[in-house]
């Protein structure tokens, strides 16, 4: 798509439309600051229209009715197929818009979005309630019912994946949706809207409203006709979402920030653990909520591990997102790189030991992009800012421990609880430590594996509720109890 500026519309009530205000916004490529696309800059009026369309689709059609679950599954599967059919083009759009490498978007993002639609296509027909144990002359049913209009607001770092994580389970459960992508990376959600339209989803079942969080996001979070809000973003905005959603007591799920610990014991397969540690922090240039941004190394292997880690980090090719050899692309905006660099400056000024990186790459071909070298600092204390705050960039803090107890204490010494990992060959220690890490997702001898079948979501200030898996489907339903008298006996009453 070199040089071409795409013109997108929003998707409301089965039509591709402009914002009511007529305003448009730009998507700027992080590799060169060129305009990639323009799209409508929506506001409250557009949210009102989208929610009204979603409500009408929910109330006036049999979309959510159980007899339609096979049809809903068929449509979700078809969306998955079309995502795969268009993989090359979508992977390129996603790479250019976010700064991810084409290798990542081709091998992971688009496939995972398709997998997610296919996974929930299968679950659409499996959303069963229960018959509860009651006396023989009665029946008691626990029915799972859809909620209605489900709003979703997403962060900019995995745009297509987040759209699929939020839209697929909502539809599988029979709801209708209004999705708001991040204004920095709206292109792939608008591409997905075209696919939803092309497969023949009824008008209003999926709506995509683009625009700023303070207008579109806020209006969606406040809207009295939105029954549920699923939010992925920062802990700070998550708090605001919760307040806005309080008006009509919306059901909310919050997928927020993290500062995840990655613990390596001396008996781990060190080469594999180094690969895991590099992936944990440098995948997607560290712009990952689940980034393993705190590496906890046992003192016995600290020196050897750090040596391998730094040697391999220095070899990571930082380059243009569309270069198949690039392993780390640019950060999302110049302002975000500046923010990440402010942590680097702080660390240098406060005596942390810089092991590698810390600057923009010297290559003149990368001068216009928001690139940053893979950066590793050694710290003596977990209490420092670098080990406590989410940086959301390619900056790793390495810490040393000697006892298992100490590793667990350091791992949990954070306001966050999104993810974590433990590397060891000792199965008892692996499970012992995994159970004690206070986080929603823990890997053993693995890092970063996120899959439609695995529940994703945090503890503590990383939020609550789950994306993905059968657990997320529960977030998109409510349980109704129906008691049926089968006896025909006289009603047992306290009143004459």
**What order of strands is seen across the sheet that includes strand 15-17?**
15-17, 10-12, 206-208, 176-180, 149-153, 228-232, 251-255, 463-464
Specify the residue, 361 or 463, whose C-beta has the smaller distance to ligand NAD.
463
Specify the residue, 254 or 301, whose C-beta has the smaller distance to ligand NAD.
254
From 139-147, 278-286, 455-463, 480-488, give the range in contact with ligand NAD by CB under 6 A: 455-463
Q: Please name the residue that has the structure tokens 């001898």.
A: 445
Q: Please name the residue that has the structure tokens 């600290």.
A: 302
Choosing from 255, 287, 404, 475, which is the catalytic residue?
255
The DSSP line for 366-422 is: GTTS-----EEEE-S-TTSHHHHS---SSEEEEEEESSHHHHHHHHH-SSEESEEEE
Specify the residue, 203 or 450, whose C-beta has the smaller distance to ligand NAD.
450
Q: Is 157 in the site for ligand NAD (CB under 6 A)?
A: yes
Specify the residue, 63 or 464, whose C-beta has the smaller distance to ligand NAD.
464
User: Where does 219-293 show beta strands of DSSP type E?
Assistant: 228-232, 251-255, 261-264
Q: Which tokens belong to 429?
A: 């220690």
Q: Is 222 in the site for ligand NAD (CB under 6 A)?
A: no
Minimum CB–partner distance for residue 62 and ligand NAD (Å)? 32
Euclidean distance between CA atoms 369 and 332, whole angstroms:
9
How much is the CA Rg of the chain, to the nearest whole Å?
24
Specify the residue, 61 or 446, whose C-beta has the smaller distance to ligand NAD.
446
Binding-site member from 214, 350, 451, 481 for ligand NAD (CB under 6 A): 214
From 54-62, 65-73, 236-244, 346-354, give the range in contact with ligand NAD by CB under 6 A: 236-244
Minimum CB–partner distance for residue 247 and ligand NAD (Å)? 13
Angle between helices 69-85 and 110-123 (to 10 degrees): 170
Q: Is 289 in the site for ligand NAD (CB under 6 A)?
A: yes
Q: Is 218 in the site for ligand NAD (CB under 6 A)?
A: yes
- Would strands 149-153 and 176-180 be described as parallel, antiparallel, or unpaired? parallel
Specify the residue, 165 or 401, whose C-beta has the smaller distance to ligand NAD.
165
Write out the binding residues for ligand NAD, residues 240-279 only, by CB under 6 A. Answer: 240-241, 255-258
Q: Is 339 in the site for ligand NAD (CB under 6 A)?
A: no
Minimum CB–partner distance for residue 217 and ligand NAD (Å)? 2
Q: Is 237 in the site for ligand NAD (CB under 6 A)?
A: yes
Q: Is 177 in the site for ligand NAD (CB under 6 A)?
A: no
Euclidean distance between CA atoms 377 and 398, whole angstroms:
6
Euclidean distance between CA atoms 127 and 143, whole angstroms:
9
Choosing from 289, 356, 390, 475, which is the catalytic residue?
289
- Would strands 176-180 and 251-255 be described as parallel, antiparallel, or unpaired? unpaired
Task: Mark whether 289 is an active-site residue.
Answer: yes
Euclidean distance between CA atoms 11 and 204, whole angstroms:
9
Could you tell me how many residues of this chain bind ligand NAD (CB under 6 A)?
A: 30
Q: Is 156 in the site for ligand NAD (CB under 6 A)?
A: yes
From 82-90, 190-198, 297-305, 457-465, give the range in contact with ligand NAD by CB under 6 A: 457-465
Q: Which tokens belong to 144?
A: 């799972």
Who contacts 441 (Cβ-Cβ below 8 Å, separation ≥6)? Answer: 290, 418, 419, 420, 450, 454, 455, 456, 457, 458
From 62-70, 229-237, 348-356, 429-437, give the range in contact with ligand NAD by CB under 6 A: 229-237
Percent helix, percent strand, percent coil in the chain, to nearest 5: 40, 20, 35
The three-point CA angle 395-398-400 to 5° equals 170
Write out the binding residues for ligand NAD, residues 358-397 only, by CB under 6 A. Answer: 390, 392
Specify the residue, 173 or 237, whose C-beta has the smaller distance to ligand NAD.
237
Q: Is 208 in the site for ligand NAD (CB under 6 A)?
A: no
Write out the binding residues for ligand NAD, residues 411-440 only, by CB under 6 A. Answer: 418
Specify the residue, 121 or 237, whose C-beta has the smaller distance to ligand NAD.
237
Binding-site member from 213, 276, 357, 420 for ligand NAD (CB under 6 A): 213
Euclidean distance between CA atoms 203 and 216, whole angstroms:
20
Query: Torsion angle of alpha carbons 299, 303, 304, 308, nearest 10°?
Result: 120
Q: Is 163 in the site for ligand NAD (CB under 6 A)?
A: no
Q: Is 452 in the site for ligand NAD (CB under 6 A)?
A: no
Euclidean distance between CA atoms 204 and 42, whole angstroms:
17
Task: Mark whether 255 is an active-site residue.
Answer: yes
Would you tell me which residues interact with ligand NAD (CB under 6 A)?
153-157, 180, 182-183, 213-214, 217-218, 221, 232-234, 237, 240-241, 255-258, 289, 390, 392, 418, 458, 462-463
Residue numbers annotated as active site: 255, 289
């Amino acid at each position: 798509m070199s040089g071409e500026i795409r013109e997108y519309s929003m998707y409301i009530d089965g039509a591709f439309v402009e914002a009511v205000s007529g305003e448009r916004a730009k998507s700027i490529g992080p590799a060169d600051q060129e305009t990639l696309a323009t799209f409508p800059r929506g506001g409250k009026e557009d949210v009102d229209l989208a929610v009204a369309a979603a409500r009408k689709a929910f109330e006036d059609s049999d979309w959510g009715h159980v007899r339609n679950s096979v049809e809903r599954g068929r449509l979700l599967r078809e969306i998955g197929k079309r995502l795969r059919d268009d993989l090359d083009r979508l992977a390129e759009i996603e790479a250019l818009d976010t700064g991810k490498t084409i290798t990542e978007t081709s091998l992971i993002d688009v496939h995972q979005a398709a997998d997610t639609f296919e996974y929930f296509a299968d679950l659409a027909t499996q959303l069963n309630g229960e018959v509860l144990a009651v006396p023989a002359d009665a029946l008691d049913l626990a029915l799972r019912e859809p909620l209605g209009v489900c709003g979703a607001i997403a962060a900019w770092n995995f745009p297509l994946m987040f759209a699929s994580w939020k839209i697929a389970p909502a539809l599988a459960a029979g709801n209708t949706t209004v999705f708001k992508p991040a204004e920095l990376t709206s292109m792939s959600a608008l591409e997905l809207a075209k696919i939803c339209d092309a497969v023949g989803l009824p008008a209003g079942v999926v709506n995509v409203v683009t625009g700023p969080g303070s207008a579109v996001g806020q209006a969606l979070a406040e809207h009295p006709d939105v029954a549920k809000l699923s939010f992925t973003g920062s802990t700070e905005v998550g708090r605001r979402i919760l307040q806005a959603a309080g008006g009509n007591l919306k059901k909310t799920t919050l997928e927020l920030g993290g500062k995840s610990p990655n613990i390596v014991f001396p008996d781990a397969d060190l080469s594999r653990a180094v690969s895991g540690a590099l992936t944990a922090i440098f995948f997607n240039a560290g712009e990952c909520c689940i980034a393993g941004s705190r590496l906890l190394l046992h003192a016995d292997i600290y020196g050897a591990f750090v040596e391998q880690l730094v040697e391999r980090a220095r070899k990571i090719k930082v380059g243009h997102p569309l270069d198949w050899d690039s392993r780390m692309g640019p950060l999302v905006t110049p302002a975000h790189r500046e923010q990440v660099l402010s942590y680097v400056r702080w660390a240098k000024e406060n005596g942390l030991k810089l092991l590698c990186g810390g600057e923009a790459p010297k290559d003149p071909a990368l001068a216009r992009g928001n690139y940053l070298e893979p950066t590793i600092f050694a710290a003596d204390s977990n209490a420092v800012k670098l080990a406590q705050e989410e940086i959301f960039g390619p900056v790793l803090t390495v810490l040393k421990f000697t006892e298992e107890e100490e590793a667990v204490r350091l791992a949990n010494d954070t306001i966050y609880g999104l993810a974590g990992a433990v590397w060891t060959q000792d199965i008892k220690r692996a499970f012992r430590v995994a159970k004690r890490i206070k986080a929603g997702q823990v890997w053993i001898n693995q890092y970063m594996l996120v899959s439609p079948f695995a529940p994703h979501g945090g503890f503590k200030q990383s939020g609550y509720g789950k994306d993905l898996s059968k657990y997320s489907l529960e977030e998109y339903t409510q349980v109704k109890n129906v008691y049926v008298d089968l006896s025909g006996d006289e009603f047992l009453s306290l009143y004459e």
